[in-house]
Amino acid sequence: MPSIGKSDSQRSPVIAELFAALVVLPTLVGVAFLATRSAGQIREDAVWLLVWGILTAGVELMPVPTWHGVQVSMGFPLLIAVALIYLPAEASLVALLGSFDPREFKGEVTLLRALFNRSQVALAVLASSSVFHAVAKVEEPWTKVLPAALLATLVDYSINLGLVAVVVSLAYRVRLHRALRELLGRGQEFLVSYLGLGVVGTVLAKFYKLPGVGIWSVITVLAPLLFARQMFFRSRALEEAHKELQDREQVLRALSNRMAEERQDER
């Protein structure tokens, strides 16, 4: 899931920080309110929620850097699984507390940016969990669970991408469509990748509910997560190589045109 980094003096951070604050405050209040209402259920599931939070935090410490300090975390399948297994209040709480960013430990993000990154993830998980539980339960057959899970994945993906794109657009003074394009890269591949990770999260949630399996099901997704991380790196490297080739082609074309003009002038 994309997250943002630290702003500098060359950007326009004031309006971006204001937008971030408008996301953070309602989200924190909303999650706290829902947690209070579901306090009994949270206490009952506290141990497992803590385990999911720790696992998510561990995976989140392996992000993929993309554009302008934005990073894509690899905890997406785990958070989708949490969103399917638990009710929205519990799932959003795990997302809020488990969405660690290695840049937090290095001082590379401000407190507000760190809270924004956590809040937009929690908000996306809250919405995706609400959508899923409105139409299905993870214990139901695959024919009902999978479509609902894919819908929840799209909701999560859209909210996360949209909020980060708005902040990047405001902070770097670029048009929103350009921020979206840069974050998406090759849009179809990016979307397919996230849908694939959503399916991994769904499989994880179904395995978790099997008798005698439980949290050990996480082992089944560690290898795919590492593979997905490498694929993200490879995809980004190919995009950068493609852009570099395009830039070189433009330079060569400009030189060729200039040389042709100089020949005509000599004549």
Q: Is the dihedral of CA 198, 199, 204, 209 positive or negative?
A: positive
C-alpha span between 52 and 255 (Å, rounded):
57
Q: 3-class DSSP state for residue 122?
A: helix
Res 67: pLDDT = 44
Res 70: pLDDT = 47
Q: How far apart are the first and last CA of the chain?
A: 59
Per run of 10 residues, the mean pLDDT along the chain (length 267 residues) is: 51 82 95 94 91 84 54 76 95 92 78 91 96 95 94 92 90 84 65 80 87 66 61 62 70 70 64
| Amino acid sitting at position 177 | H
Q: Which residues contact 157 (CB under 8 A, 6 or more apart)?
A: 124, 191, 194, 198
CB-side neighbour CA atoms (13 Å) of 72: 24
Q: Considering the entire predicted model, what is its pTM? A: 0.75
C-alpha span between 97 and 75 (Å, rounded):
13
Based on its alpha-carbon atoms, the radius of gyration of the chain, rounded to whole angstroms, reads 21
Res 241: pLDDT = 66
Q: 3-class DSSP state for residue 2?
A: strand
Res 72: pLDDT = 55
For the CA atoms of 128, 203, 235, 158, what is the dihedral angle to 10 degrees?
-10
Q: Where are the beta strands (DSSP E) in the chain?
A: 2-3, 64-65, 71-72
Could you tell me which of 214, 180, 259 has the C-alpha nearest to residue 55?
Answer: 214
C-alpha span between 54 and 58 (Å, rounded):
6
- pLDDT digit string (tens) for 122-168? 999 999 999 999 999 999 999 999 999 999 999 998 998 899 889 98
DSSP code string of 40-92: HHHHHTHHHHHHHHHHHHHHHTS-EE-STT-EE-S-HHHHHHHHHHS-HHHHH
